[in-house]
Structure 1
Amino acid sequence: MESIAAESTTMETVNEKASRGENFVRYALERIHKDNGFAARLRRADNPSTEYQSWESLASFGVDLEKDWVRLPYCVVGAALAKAKPEADGSLKLGAAIAACYDEGSQSDQAKAKLRRLLACSTTAEACQILRPLLALISGRGVRLDFSQLLDDLLWFSGDHRERIRTRWAQGFYRRATDDEASIEAGASHD
């Protein structure tokens, strides 16, 4: 009975013009706030030992469970959403979100180390493994991450777009510092 209800909810939330990431995040947020059981199953997707408990929920959305480069991004993002329970998707891209976790932003040695480790990933599975604690940090600091974009990035990470995605993450990380510095300078010149 739950699968039938979940499927009808899935069909209602899928927007043909939206990306897979946008559709999944919208679907997951809607279900997380209405169904505690769904949220609990999705939280378990974060642990390789209990991930299988989320498969029914992921399959009802149409996730191909046999392909780890497809399944793992949904697991990592779904679990992060279920743990953070944001009211809506955020707006900060991954690089900017990492920088936003530290007072020094992209000048923080810790932030730089986390970004470098993520940029060193060569497979989707490795990126998802590195992202698990990073997403917990981002959520714990109250940073509003754009989960939709992250999921889309991860779904394309295994293909020819890996370098472009890593470049976008780095650009977002360092651009945030540039934007913050420009804001500070503009504020100082108005004094």
Structure 2
Amino acid sequence: MDDKQSSTFVKLVMERCHGSQDKGYRAKLRKGENPNTEYYCWDILSSYVNLEYPDDRRVYALIGADIANRDVTVDGEYGLGEALAMAYQDHEHSKDDTGPGGARLRRLLACQNRKDLLLVLPSLLHLLRSKGITINHSRLLEEVFWFDREDSRERTRSLWAKQFYHDWRGES
């Protein structure tokens, strides 16, 4: 998978869910959030990913479901670490280890493979949706898709930590 493929997937899903008001398409994708009902969106996913690989399929289903559950027409600008920091910016201990943001980040960084990450992400994406924080779905799709490769996993985890601990307003 390359950057263009992830961008194309995100763009087309956003157009189809929100541009054409295709409620059936959007409803199918929403089912992708739950592994037990994910098969409802396989006809959509089959154009982008080999359905025989459950982890690859799960990544696309989760990102597609998050897009379908939001009212956005363009991809967001924030990385996962930035978005998590923004979700807890008003909390007293937002960036230290005693705060809920730090605990969520530690759980995210503790993931050793894509399976672990796919267990943690749904609740995190739900939190970000509930706070109205838009994320860059194309970037997240790439990061999660390649998370099983050690070099990519380490790069991604360090990026998320850097984004979280760097003040999103531009201050350190």
So what's the TM-score if we normalise by structure 1? 0.80
Counterpart for residue 109 of structure 1? 99
User: Is 1:67 equivalent to 2:53 in the alignment?
Assistant: yes
Counterpart for residue 7 of structure 1? none
User: Is 1:132 equivalent to 2:122 in the alignment?
Assistant: yes
Aligned mates of 1:83, 1:114 — CA distance in 2 = 22
Larger-Rg structure? 1
Give a deviation string over 1:101-131, Cα, whole Å, max 9, x none.
Answer: 0114434710111111011111212211201
Aligned mates of 1:165, 1:18 — CA distance in 2 = 15
Q: What root-mean-square deviation, in Å, do the aligned CA atoms of Structure 1 and Structure 2 show?
A: 1.7
Counterpart for residue 159 of structure 2? 168
Counterpart for residue 92 of structure 1? 78
Secondary structure at 1:176 match in 2: coil
Superposed displacement of residue 18, structure 1 = 4.9
1 or 2, which has the higher helix percentage? 1
Counterpart for residue 122 of structure 1? 112
Identity level (%):
37
Aligned mates of 1:121, 1:168 — CA distance in 2 = 14
So what's the TM-score if we normalise by structure 2? 0.88
Q: Which has the higher mean CA deviation after the structures are superposed, 98-107 or 153-162? A: 98-107
Secondary structure at 2:67 match in 1: helix
Counterpart for residue 34 of structure 2? 47
Specify every segment of 5 or more residues in structure 1 that has no aligned partner in the other structure, as ranges: 1-16, 183-191
Counterpart for residue 45 of structure 2? 58
Give a deviation string over 1:141-180, Cα, whole Å, max 9, x none.
Answer: 0112111110010111011311111111111111135x45
Q: Which amino acid aligns with 1:118?
A: L
Choose which of 3, 6, 14 in structure 2 pairs with 1:29.
14
Aligned mates of 1:47, 1:125 — CA distance in 2 = 14
Aligned mates of 1:96, 1:66 — CA distance in 2 = 33
Given that residues 113 and 148 in structure 2 are in contact (C-alpha distance below 8 angstroms), is that contact kept between their aligned partners in structure 1? yes
Given that residues 20 and 152 in structure 1 are in contact (C-alpha distance below 8 angstroms), is that contact kept between their aligned partners in structure 2? no
Superposed displacement of residue 133, structure 1 = 0.8
- How many matched pairs? 164
